[in-house]
Amino acid sequence: MAHVSFDSSALKKFVHPNELGEMQAMVNAADDELRKGTGAGADFRDWLHLPSDYDQEEFSRIKKAAAKIKDDSDVLVVIGIGGSYLGARMAIDFLHNSFYQAQAAADRKNPLVLFAGNSLSSSYVYDLIELIGDRDFSVNVISKSGTTTEPSIAFRIFKQKLIDKYGEEEANHRIYATTDQKRGALKSEADDAGWETFVIPDGVGGRYSVLSAVGLLPIAASGADIDKLMEGAAAAEHTYVDPDLTKNEAYQYAAYRNILYRKGYETELLENYEPNMTMFAEWWKQLAGESEGKDQKGIYPSSANFTTDLHSLGQYIQEGRRFLMETVVKLDQPNHDLTIPEAKSNLDGLEYLQGKNMDWVNTKAYEAVVAAHTTGGVPVMTVHIDKEDEYTLGYLIYFFEVAIAISGYLNGINPFNQPGVEAYKTNMFGLLGKPGYEEIGDQLRKEMADNQ
C-alpha cells in the first residue's frame, strides 16, 4: 500500500494531456544529474541513500542517548537554525498531540523538546529559560561549524545555565553535540569537554538532514519511533527511483510544478487541513526556497493552513492576481474523529450536519476549495497521506526531498548550494564589529546615514 499518493486530476484546465510526456526527456536528464552525479552540487547527494545506508552504530547511540535524556531530563533544548532545527520541529509537531507542549509530563511521558538558536530574540530566550525553571534539562547543540551566530549565542547561554545548575562535570554529561565529523569550533570544544557527539554527514546539506542525527536525536528524545521513520523513508527511496513519469509520482510533482512555473504560476502555496502540519510547511519552505531560488529564477514557496486561512487569504487566492499554484498535503485518516452532536434548537444552522463526523466535513471543505480555486484559475495538486505516523512521515519527507532535487535540475540550477544566504551574514558581521569585517561595517553605516 502506498502511504503517499499524488493527485494531479485538478490540473486538467491548466496542463494539456501531452505536456507531461513532453517533459520526459528533461526529467531523464535531471535524473541522470541526480543519480549519476553529473549535475551541479554532486557532492551533496548522500541524502539519497540515507534511509537505507546509514551508520548503524551511530543510530544505536542516538537511541541510547535519547533513552538517557528521557531518564534524566524533563526538557531537551535543541539549539540550531535552518535545517538544524526545522526538520526535528516539524516531525515532533506532526507525530505528537496538537497540544504536546501544554501536556503534563505524566501525560506526555517523554521530555519536552524545545528549540533555541533559531532567532536573535532576547525575549524568546528569556521566556524559554523561565519555562524550564527548576526542571532537569539537557542540550543538543547542532552546528556544522559551531560559529553560526544565532545558535552560538544561545549555546553560550544554555551551556552556562547547565554549569550553574549541575557543575561543569555533570553539565558535560548533558550536552550532546551534532556537528562535523573531523573539524570546526564545536567539534574541537566537544572533544575537549568529552561531550557525546553525532555527525552531520559531509554529503548532506542542512535542509536535507532531518533523517540524519540532526533530526533523529530530538525526534527520538520526544518519544517517536525513529526505526519506523527510517523504514518509511527507505520504502520511498525504493519507490521513487524509476524516472518514468507514468510510474514515479514524486517526479510527476516536480514536472507539473515546472510546467506551471513556465506558464507564469511563480508562487506555490503548500497547504494543509491539519494545524499540526504548520511546521511541516515551514520545513518544506526551506527545502524548496533554498534549493531553487537562484540565478534570479525559481518558484517562490509559501504556505497556508486551511480552513483557517480561507478566512484571511481565501479572497486573494480566489480572485487576486493569477500567479499562484497550490499543493495540498491532505490527511485521509485523522488520528481522532468526533461526531457533531444533536441539539434541541437549530440556532447555529447545523442541524443538517448533526451526526456527521468532523473529518467528513473537513474533507468536503477541501473538495469545495479545490473546485472553487480551479474554477477561479488557480491550479491545485494534492499529495495524499493515509495517516500521521512515523512511517508515513519518513515516506513523505523523501517524496519532497527527491521531488525538489529533480525540480531544481529541471530549472537549470544547483539544488544543493545556498550562496545567497551568506550576504546578510557578511553585512551582520560588519555591523556587529566582528574582526575582519570592520571595513564592511563602516561602509554600511555610511550608506545608512546617507539614506536617512
Do 27 and 83 lie in a common domain?
no
Q: Residue 142: which of 79, 208, 62 has the closest Cα?
A: 79
Do 235 and 219 lie in a common domain?
no
Q: How far apart are CA 299 and CA 324, in angstroms?
A: 10
Q: In the structure grid, which three cell numbers stand for residue 70, read together?
A: 528521557
The answer to whether the CB of 231 falls within 8 A of the CB of 246 is no
Q: What are phi and psi of 387, to 5 degrees?
A: -160, 170
Do 162 and 241 lie in a common domain?
no
Which residues, 6+ apart, have CB-to-CB distance to 390 below 8 Å?
95, 224, 225, 226, 228, 229, 232
Q: In the structure grid, which three cell numbers stand for residue 442, read together?
A: 563602516
Q: How far apart are CA 421 and CA 181, in angstroms?
A: 23
Determine the distance from the C-alpha atom of residue 336 to the mean position of all C-alpha atoms in its chain, rounded to a whole number. Answer: 24
Which residues, 6+ apart, have CB-to-CB distance to 101 below 8 Å?
112, 114
Q: How far apart are CA 270 and CA 267, in angstroms?
A: 10
Q: In the structure grid, which three cell numbers stand for residue 2, read together?
A: 502506498
Q: What are phi and psi of 440, to 5 degrees?
A: -65, -40
Identify the active-site residue in 109, 356, 364, 425: 425
Full domain range(s) for residue 96: 48-224
pLDDT for 3 equals: 87
Identity of the amino acid at 102: A
Return the SS3 of 197: strand
The answer to whether the CB of 195 falls within 8 A of the CB of 175 is yes
Where among 177, 197, 224 does a domain terminate?
224
Relative orientation angle of helices 421-432 and 149-166, to the nearest 10 degrees: 60
Q: Give the total number of structural domains in the chain.
A: 2
pLDDT for 2 equals: 66
Whether 54 is covered by a domain: the verdict is yes
The full length of the chain comes to 452
The answer to whether the CB of 144 falls within 8 A of the CB of 205 is no
Q: How far apart are CA 299 and CA 281, in angstroms?
A: 15
Whether 140 is covered by a domain: the verdict is yes
Angle in degrees, CA 320, 325, 329, rounded to 5: 125
Residue tagged 539549539 (cell numbers):
79
Cis peptide upstream of residue 307 (ω within 30 degrees of 0): yes
Identify the active-site residue in 290, 292, 388, 401: 290
Residue 332 belongs to domain with CATH number: 3.40.50.10490
Where among 377, 393, 411 does a domain terminate?
411
The answer to whether the CB of 76 falls within 8 A of the CB of 111 is yes
Q: pLDDT 10s digit of each residue in the chain, 452 long?
A: 468 999 999 999 999 999 999 999 999 999 999 999 999 999 999 999 999 999 999 999 999 999 999 999 999 999 999 989 999 999 999 999 999 989 988 899 999 999 999 999 999 999 999 999 999 999 999 998 888 899 999 999 999 999 999 999 999 999 999 999 999 999 999 999 999 999 999 999 999 999 999 999 999 999 999 999 999 999 999 999 999 999 999 999 999 999 999 999 999 999 999 999 999 999 999 999 999 999 999 999 999 999 999 999 999 999 999 999 999 999 999 999 999 999 999 999 999 999 999 999 999 999 999 999 999 999 999 999 999 999 999 999 999 999 999 999 999 999 999 887 777 778 888 777 888 887 777 777 877 787 77
Do 53 and 195 lie in a common domain?
yes
Taking CA atoms, 255 is separated from 115, 160, 208, 246, 279, in Å, by 35, 50, 20, 12, 25
Q: Residue 325: which of 23, 6, 8 has the closest Cα?
A: 8
Whether 432 is covered by a domain: the verdict is no
Do 286 and 385 lie in a common domain?
yes
Whether 440 is covered by a domain: the verdict is no
Do 218 and 234 lie in a common domain?
no
Relative orientation angle of helices 438-450 and 421-432, to the nearest 10 degrees: 90
pTM: 0.95
Whether 422 is covered by a domain: the verdict is no
Do 219 and 236 lie in a common domain?
no
Do 80 and 217 lie in a common domain?
yes
Whether 451 is covered by a domain: the verdict is no
Residue tagged 535552518 (cell numbers):
82
Q: In the structure grid, which three cell numbers stand for residue 230, read together?
A: 527510517
The answer to whether the CB of 55 falls within 8 A of the CB of 287 is no
In the residue annotation, 425 being an active-site residue is answered as yes
Whether 21 is covered by a domain: the verdict is yes
Do 107 and 247 lie in a common domain?
no
Angle in degrees, CA 114, 398, 211, rounded to 5: 40
Q: Residue 86: which of 207, 177, 188, 212 has the closest Cα?
A: 207
Whether 252 is covered by a domain: the verdict is yes
Q: Residue 221: which of 395, 77, 389 has the closest Cα?
A: 77
pLDDT for 450 equals: 78
